[in-house]
Structures are given as C-alpha cells and as structure tokens.
Amino acid sequence: MADTATPNVIRRADYAPPAFLIDTVALEFDLVPERTVVRNTMRVRRNPDASHASNLELMGEQLEFVSAAIDGVAFANAHAHEHGLTLDNVPDNFELTLTSICNPAENTTLSGLYVSGGNFFTQCEAEGFRRITYFLDRPDVMATFTVTLRASKADYPVLLSNGNLLEEGDLPDGRHFARWEDPFRKPSYLFALVAGKLVALEERVKSGSGKEKLLQVWVEPHDLDKTRHAMDSLINSIRWDEARFGLELDLDRFMIVAVSDFNMGAMENKGLNIFNTKYVLANPETATDTDFANIEAVVGHEYFHNWTGNRVTCRDWFQLSLKEGLTVFRDQEFSADMAGGATDEAARATKRIEDVRVLRQMQFAEDAGPMAHPVRPESYVEINNFYTMTVYEKGSEVVRMYQTLFGRDGFRKGMDLYFKRHDGQAVTCDDFRHALADANGRDLAQFERWYSQAGTPRVSVRTKYDAAQQRYSVTLTQGYGDAAPAARETQKGPLLIPFAIGLIGKDGADLPLQLEGETKASNSTTRVLDFTQTEQTFTFVNVAQEPLPSLLRNFSAPVIVEYDYSADQLAFLLAHDSDPFNRWEAGQRLATRELLTLAGRAATGVPLQLDDSVVAAFARVLTDESLSPSFRELALMLPSEAYLAEQMAESNPAAVHAARQFVRKRLANALRKDWLAVYEKHRTPGAYEATPEAAGHRALKNLALSYLAELDDPAEAVRLASAQYDAANNMTDRSAALSALLNAAAANGGNVEAQQALDDFYRRFEKEPLVIDKWFALQATQRGSAQRPVIKIVRKLMAHPAFNLKNPNRARSLIFSFCAANPAQFHAEDGSGYAFWADQVIALDAINPQVAARLARSLELWRRFTPTLRDGMRTALEKVASQVKSRDVREIVEKALA
Ligand code: B3K
Ligand code: ZN
C-alpha cells in the first residue's frame, strides 16, 4: 500500500498529450469483497496529436494482472510492474481486453474500489481509477463507458454506476447483474460504482426544457428519514443552474449515494455523486443549522460540477482550479441566492462574511507557509495534496473577480462562450480566462498572474483630502510584503486588482463618486477601481467634505488591506458603512487590533486591560435590533485564535488564548444584562424551522449563551444551558448548550451538569455516527485548564469503544479537532500535543495516506511560532519524516522541514 519509491516531482511545464487515446470502455465487475475480478475492454488508437510511442504504458496500482488480449487474441508482450502495465509494440488502432483482480475488502485508503459497511463504493479522483483497472488514468483521456456489475443478489441488491440503466436481471447461483451506460465521454476520474443494501428517496422533476428526470438519494435503510434536505437541495440546485446559467441536467437520472467511510466531502462522478454521509444526512434532531447549510452547499457544489468539471473538464491536474475554483464560486453564489435572492444584500453578506473568514483563516495561512502555491500550481509530488484552500477558495475568489469586473451579465456571457467553445473537452485555466476576456472584449493578459503567483497580496492605502480643491486622492500600493520563500519564487509583477471603494460622509451616508476626468458622479456609491500598477493614485473630485474611505467593499479581491484607521473611525464604520461586509470588517479590525495588543502583553506577562470604547462598540451591535440576528452574531464573534496567532510576528497560541478569553470575559461581565436580554429575545420556541431567519435567531441566542458561560459567576449560564439542553428539539440548540456547559466547567474546575449532559448525549445518539462525531469533537475542542489538560481527555477517548481510526470522519472528529481546532491546548508547552500528533500521523499513514497527509499539515507553520514551541514541533516533524512511507505525507513533512 505504501509507496517507498523516491518521490518524483511532476511539473506543469512537462505536460505532453497522451500517445494513445481510448474512445470506449466496457467494464465488467464480478464483485467479491476480497477478490473482485475486473474485465476491461477498450477501443485504443494512436493520438494523432502526440509524438509516436511504440509501447502503450497504462497506469495500474495494487492490481493482480491476469491476462491481456488484442483484438481477441491473447497478447504475450504485456508486462505488469509496480506502477502499471506495459504493452510492447501495439498496433495503431485496436481493441484491448485486460483482466485483473483487486481486493476491495483490504483497501483502507478509500481510493479506488473499497468496502464500507459491507457495501462497495469507489473514489477515483484524482488517481484512484488505476487501482481498479489498468488505464490511461489522466483527465485528458476521455471515453464513453459501459459498465456491467455482477454480485450476490442477497448481499448487494442494488447495483449502480454512471449514466442510464440499460438492463438488469438474475444470474445463476443467487447472483444478479445490472448494465449501465454513460452516453457522455468522460475522464476515468469520474467513473463510479456502488453496490449494496441501500434504499432511495426518489423524486421526479421536469427540467427547464420539460424533460422528466429521476432523482434519487441512496442511503442505508435506517437513514431514509434523513434524506429530505439533501433532495430539496438537489432540486434547488437544478433550478438555480437553469435560472442563473442556463445549464440543464443532461442525464435522465441523477443519483446521490451516502457513504460513511469517505476521505473528503463528496465526489461529482457523472450522474452518480458519492457523498460523505456528513453532507447528506440531516434531520433537526441530528443536524445543526450549519450542517443543513453545508449540505445545501455541497449538494450544489457536486451538482454544479456536472457542467463545470464534467462536461468541460481539466486537461491535467495543474488545472484543478479550472473546475474547483469555478465550482466553489458557483456554490457560494447558489447559497447566497438561496439565503437572500439577488437583492437582499444583508442576507447575501452573511454568506460572504462566512466565506471570507474561512479564506483568511485557512488560505492566507497556507500562503504563508511551505505549501504556498499558485492557484494553478507549477509542480507536485502527490496531486491529492493539492486539493487545497488555494485551489478551491482562492480559486473561487479569482473567478469572483471576473464577475466583479464584468458584472453578472458579463460573467454570464463569458460562461456561455466557455461552454460554446469547450463543451466535451479537457481544457486549461487559460481557456477559461480567454473566454471571459473575449466575451467582454477585454485584454486579461495581466490577470493571468492571479493563476501563477503565490502568496497573499498586500494593498496599502494612503489618502489625502484637499479641502480647497474638494479633491480626495487615494493612493494604492501593491506588493507581497515578507512572503514565504515558496511563494516569493513565483512573484513576477503587479496584479489586476478590482478594488471596490466607497466614501462616507460625516453623517454616515455614502458620498457621490466622481473620478477626475469624468463629467459627472456615477449612479453607484461603490466604485470598482482597476488597480493594475505597483502604485497608482485615484483622485475623486467634487468631494465636499473629508470622507472616511470604505475600502475593498464586499472583499472585492483576496488581498490584505493596510490602512491606518483610528479606533473611532472603525467604530464609525461599524455603525454606518452601507456595505454590510465592511461593517463587519470594521468590527473585526477593531477587535483584531485590540486582541493582538493584548496578546503581546500576555506574552510578556503584562496585565491586560480593555478600552471602554471597544466594549461600547460591541454593546451597540449587541443591542441594535435593526440589524439582522445573523449579522450580529458574526459581528460579535471574535476573530479565531488561529487567525490571531497567524497575525503575530511570532505565533503564540497561549498568549492569544489568554487575550481572547480576557476579552470574552470582559464583554460577558460588562454586558451581562444585554446578553441575557438577547438570549431571551431570540429564543425560537415551537416547532423547529430550518429557515435562514430562524437559524439567525438560534445563532445569536447561542452566541449569547456562550458569552454568558464566561461570566465570573456562571451559575446562571449553567442553569440556562442545562435547561436548553433538556428542552432542545434540535441539534443546534442541544450541541450549543452542551458546549456552553463544557466551557463553563473548564473555567470552574468542572460541573456535574456538563458531565451529565455529555453522558446523556452519548446515550441518546449512540446509534447516530454523525452525532457521535460531534460528541468527540466537542470534547476535543473544549477549553482545558492546567488541572484538566484536553490532551488527557483526547488520549482517553482514543480508547473509547466508539473510536475508530479507520473511519475518516471519526479520526477527524477527535484527532483533527484537537490538533487543528484547539490551538491553545494542542500547542501545550510540554510538547504533549506534538508527540500525540506524530503518533497519529504515523498510525494513519499506514491506513490512509490521504487522511494522514491532511493531519500532517497541522504543523507546517512551525517556523512562524514562538521559539519555545519551535523545537518541539521540529522534533515531531522529524520523527514523522523518518517513519512515514507514503509520498502523500512525505511531501508535506519534507516541505515543512526544508
Ligand atoms: N472533486 C472532489 C475532490 C476529490 C479529492 C481527491 N483527493 C470533490 C469536489 O471538489 O467536489
Ligand atoms: Zn469540487
């Protein structure tokens, strides 16, 4: 299973078209858990656009080769080796039949064909198909597939594959078969099969052009009552893609299947999406509002891939963001439209804020470390390590910038041209950019740098008001600051940055905007500046009073803005900016600055104090009932510890934790009455409603509860949380109450209520694996104390009968939660967290390299930490480097140590 060969670096510059093409594939599976026989008949021909090769080199891994035949005649010159099969001196055009055997029961990597819960599933992206049969397993080889599945009818009553069902029937010996045909050419990474004991929620809908479509959500029988939301999300996704992009479902049938052992969120296999149960199963008792929203987003994401990814796919894996960045952008827009339609800016902003939080916390950090890479990477050792925040989230921001530049209509024109030119092809990020440029008549050569330069751009802003001339000039300077070495190498020149700006007057209202050289002010009070040079000055004229600038409205580009706002100015923006994103942003800046100052003091042992003006600014948001609850919740949530630590010259998780806790306590005690009032006012009694409004009330109320749990005397919070826990009719309220109890307990040396609730929670949901994941995660992320370090709890939970390292969701719920989402405890000075991390990376490496490599990334920023922690981190990294086998983990730890 492990790959011990010296890692080879794959480079984008080395791309060459395949020497052979495969036009059709007929696969036959005899499904047996320990010994599945696969017969693969392909139509192969030389690629007229490639240089000549006499041998056909097929990829294959972990396969037992049985036989090869060309045009029906046994072929002796086929040599199986560790990486595949070489066929010497093949004809120009021929039918190739290969037989091989694989062992799905023993496949713990969850890549290729594997068994989970007694059923068969596949995962082929990026390079899993070669673990099923020998093939040209690369995305620019596209073929039509016919698939015949044979299996025991009692054990595997349901047999699914891509496309349309052609026929099914019984076979001797209690076996049966099904034959599927996918009419669309596709690369091998989109192949899928599922076989097992499953049931489906079904729905028939008519697509835009009136054709009937069969929609199915397949799950294990006991989960059927948790499929409604996924089905509704699918129907909404279909409608949305028709309305917003004119894209219709192209198959007669579309299936979603849930599996509990899965390496990531979900997979967009043509017509047969396979999902982690976490992104399918939901009902109010088991799933939180966040789970509901995530399911909608992921169902949308995979469905939208049907066009952006499947109909038009990637030429090579360096182009991954072509489908991923674009599809994330599409799912973000879908969620925003579902929450707020096209016009409710405040509701849309909630989604935008959440997305930007993730980007800044995770992608900016990635950009600052050894894994920094451009949206279109130049090289990789293991492609699975490049399903990153940069490719996905920054990639989405890059796509969003086209829309910011050209507007929704211009973006749509570009998309239309993209499909007109490239439907059915495997293409590059350049092809996408050209379609956008050509459809809008604009040269986007400079924009290419967004794909090729790594690192987070910094834009510093200087402003000058000339009262006599009524001119206001804004000078923007761009650069990368002190970028990580991995990023610096890629940086060549200035970017085209769409920089959205507004000017705010003394009364808080937007001022009209007229740039020098224009004859009148524009209609809009937000202007997108085309910022293309290293330094550029934009001058606004007829500015009657000195304005306050609102910079990078709606986060119009993935950059860091540096501008010296005073605390009063930020408080003013927080109260008045017409751009809801920037209102939130002002509060974040205010809090970040304050928290970083406090963290600096905590690091040097200076007593902490918080300015009353900061408390007052928070109090205004807390008590402003004209603001939506969801906005208030986001505005009152302090920046995360991980984000704050990353902003320090030397990350110091303990100091950040102390500072953030100090502020939370201060806000809790100073505004106790207001938190209590908000808690009461935003209860949602009665039957659970899944609407964004109801979710907003719950979010704000539960935030209030979490602040109340910080009170010096938490008795009242404990009482409220216990009552909420007992009365809850939904998982959002129940888990928030449990979390509040755990945190109140940490500060006060434990409480019986927390332990009782924890025990009750386990008993109540023992049969719901996704809820038990929450039970593990809540404990792993809880606040610890010197007397009760969380590492002890985590180590104990590792021995719990419900813990299982082989199940990625469970491993993530306990190990990842602790190592990546509880920084203050993980980075304990005694190095206990790091030793634990090393043990778990090594253990996982032997089971599932992809999951191990994800965990391995939690120490990659070690060089940026305070010296007292650095040594411990390096020692742990070196231990892992000396013991791991997979190239997945190796690439991560070697880059970290380099
Ligand atoms: N395309 C898949 C991700 C595959 C990851 C392979 N390591 C899911 C998605 O982005 O929709
Ligand atoms: Zn995707």
pLDDT in tens, 374-399: 999 999 999 999 999 999 999 999 99
Which of the 8 DSSP states describes residue 781?
T
Residue nearest to atom 3 of ligand 1 (CA): 267
- Which residues lie below 8 Å from residue 345, measured CB to CB, with a gap of 6+? 580
CA angle, corner 373, sides to 367 and 374, nearest 5? 105
Q: How far apart are alpha carbons 87 and 135 in whole angstroms?
A: 12
Q: How far apart are alpha carbons 400 and 321 in whole angstroms?
A: 13
What pLDDT does 7 receive? 57
- Which residues lie below 8 Å from residue 344, measured CB to CB, with a gap of 6+? none
Query: Which residue out of 273, 279, 307, 324 has the highest number of ligand 1 atoms within 8 Å of its CB and is therefore the one to mutate?
Result: 324
Distance 556 CA to ligand 2 centre (A): 22
**Contact in structure between 161 and 26 (CB atoms under 8 Å):** no
What are the tokens at 169?
């029937």
In single-letter form, the type of residue at position 684 comes to T
Provide the H-helix boundaries in 285-427: 289-305, 320-340, 345-358, 364-367, 389, 395-422
Q: DSSP per residue over 76-134, as a string?
A: S-EEEETTEEEE-S--SEEEEEEEEEE-GGG-TT-SEEEEETTEEEEE-TTTTGGGTS-
Q: What average pLDDT score do residues 215-239 get?
A: 98
Q: How far apart are alpha carbons 361 and 368 in whole angstroms?
A: 11
Q: pLDDT band for position 2 (50/70/90)?
A: very low
- CA 598 to chain centroid, in Å, comes to 31
What are the tokens at 209?
């052009």
Work out the percent of the chain whose per-residue pLDDT is above 90.
96
- Which protein residues touch ligand 1 with a CB less than 6 Å away? 125-126, 264, 266-268, 301-302, 305, 324, 384, 387
Q: What are the angstrom distances between the C-alpha of 157 and each of 107, 154, 180, 779? A: 22, 6, 15, 39
Closest-lying ligand to the alpha carbon of 302?
A: 1
Which of 527, 525, 477 is closest to 501 using CA atoms? 527
Which of the 8 DSSP states describes residue 312?
B
Residue nearest to atom 5 of ligand 1 (CA): 125
Residue nearest to atom 7 of ligand 1 (CA): 384
Q: DSSP per residue over 605-669, as a string?
A: TPPP---HHHHHHHHHHHH-TTS-HHHHHHHHSPPPHHHHHHHSSSB-HHHHHHHHHHHHHHHHH
Closest-lying ligand to the alpha carbon of 298?
A: 1
Residue nearest to atom 1 of ligand 1 (CA): 267
Give bridge partners of residue 494 from the DSSP assignment. Answer: none
DSSP reduced 3-state for 800: coil
> Does a cis peptide bond (omega within 30 degrees of 0) precede residue 105?
no
Distance 267 CA to ligand 1 centre (A): 6
- Which residues lie below 8 Å from residue 78, measured CB to CB, with a gap of 6+? 65, 68, 85, 86, 87, 88, 98
Q: How far apart are alpha carbons 804 and 815 in whole angstroms?
A: 11
DSSP reduced 3-state for 178: strand
Q: How far apart are alpha carbons 314 and 5 in whole angstroms?
A: 27
Q: How far apart are alpha carbons 458 and 534 in whole angstroms?
A: 11
Closest-lying ligand to the alpha carbon of 190?
A: 1
pLDDT in tens, 161-214: 999 999 999 999 999 999 999 999 999 999 999 999 999 999 999 999 999 999
Q: Provide the sign of the torsion angle of the four alpha carbons 637, 640, 645, 646, taken in this order.
A: negative
The residue with tokens 């600096």 is 600
Which of the 8 DSSP states describes residue 468?
T
Q: pLDDT band for position 411 (50/70/90)?
A: very high
Query: Which residue out of 111, 130, 267 has the highest number of ligand 1 atoms within 8 Å of its CB and is therefore the one to mutate?
Result: 267
| pLDDT(681) > 60 | yes
pLDDT in tens, 50-94: 999 999 999 999 999 999 999 999 999 999 999 999 999 999 999
pLDDT in tens, 755-814: 999 999 999 999 999 999 999 999 999 999 888 899 999 999 999 999 999 999 999 999
Query: Which residue out of 124, 387, 848 has the highest number of ligand 1 atoms within 8 Å of its CB and is therefore the one to mutate?
Result: 387
Question: Of all atoms in ligand 1, which is nearest to the CA of residue 384?
Answer: 7
Q: What are the angstrom distances between the C-alpha of 304 and each of 247, 267, 269, 650, 824? A: 9, 11, 12, 41, 39
Question: Of all atoms in ligand 1, which is nearest to the CA of residue 305?
Answer: 11
**Contact in structure between 216 and 251 (CB atoms under 8 Å):** no
pLDDT in tens, 339-359: 987 788 888 999 999 999 999
The residue with tokens 């003013």 is 572
Q: Which of 28, 302, 646, 753 is catalytic?
A: 302
Q: Is 302 a catalytic residue?
A: yes
Q: Does the reported pTM lie above 0.95?
A: yes
Provide the H-helix boundaries in 125-188: none
Residue nearest to atom 8 of ligand 1 (CA): 267
Residue nearest to atom 2 of ligand 1 (CA): 267
- Give the number of C-alpha atoms closer than 13 A to the C-alpha of residue 504, restricted to the C-beta side: 21
Please state whether beta strands 548-551 and 497-504 pair in parallel, antiparallel, or not at all (unpaired): antiparallel
pLDDT in tens, 564-608: 999 999 999 999 999 999 999 999 999 999 999 999 999 999 999
Distance 500 CA to ligand 1 centre (A): 32
**Contact in structure between 805 and 816 (CB atoms under 8 Å):** no
Length of the chain: 898
Distance 327 CA to ligand 2 centre (A): 6
What SS3 string covers 415-449? HHHHHHHHCCCEECHHHHHHHHHHHHCCCCCHHHH
Distance 211 CA to ligand 1 centre (A): 29
Distance 125 CA to ligand 1 centre (A): 6
Residue nearest to atom 9 of ligand 1 (CA): 267
Give bridge partners of residue 143 from the DSSP assignment. Answer: 186
**Contact in structure between 476 and 459 (CB atoms under 8 Å):** yes
Terminal-to-terminal C-alpha distance of the chain? 26
φ/ψ (deg, to 5) at 471 = -115, 145
- Which residues lie below 8 Å from residue 271, measured CB to CB, with a gap of 6+? 162, 163, 164, 182, 251, 253, 254, 255
- Give the number of C-alpha atoms closer than 13 A to the C-alpha of residue 126, restricted to the C-beta side: 21
Q: How far apart are alpha carbons 254 and 121 in whole angstroms?
A: 17
Question: Of all atoms in ligand 1, which is nearest to the CA of residue 383?
Answer: 7
Enclosing H/E stretch for 473: strand 471-479
What is the pLDDT of the chain when averaged over all its residues?
97
Q: How far apart are alpha carbons 154 and 808 in whole angstroms?
A: 28
What pLDDT does 174 receive? 98
Distance 125 CA to ligand 2 centre (A): 10
Q: DSSP per residue over 810-829, as a string?
A: HHIIIIIHHHHH-HHHHT-T
Q: pLDDT band for position 5 (50/70/90)?
A: very low
Question: Comparing 6-10, 16-20, 548-552, 872-876, which segment has the lowest mean pLDDT?
Answer: 6-10
| pLDDT(747) > 90 | no
DSSP reduced 3-state for 490: coil
Q: How far apart are alpha carbons 392 and 323 in whole angstroms?
A: 9
Question: Of all atoms in ligand 1, which is nearest to the CA of residue 265?
Answer: 8
Q: What average pLDDT score do residues 705-719 get?
A: 95
Give bridge partners of residue 548 from the DSSP assignment. Answer: 504
535-558 in b/e form (b: 16+ CB < 10 A) is ebebbbbbbeeebbbbbbbbbbbb
- CA 119 to chain centroid, in Å, comes to 27
Closest-lying ligand to the alpha carbon of 189?
A: 1
Distance 304 CA to ligand 2 centre (A): 9
Answer left, alpha or beta for residue 196, where phi above 0 means left and psi between -120 and 50 means alpha: left
Work out the percent of the chain whose per-residue pLDDT is above 70.
99
| pLDDT(1) > 70 | no
Which of the 8 DSSP states describes residue 224?
G
What pLDDT does 225 receive? 98
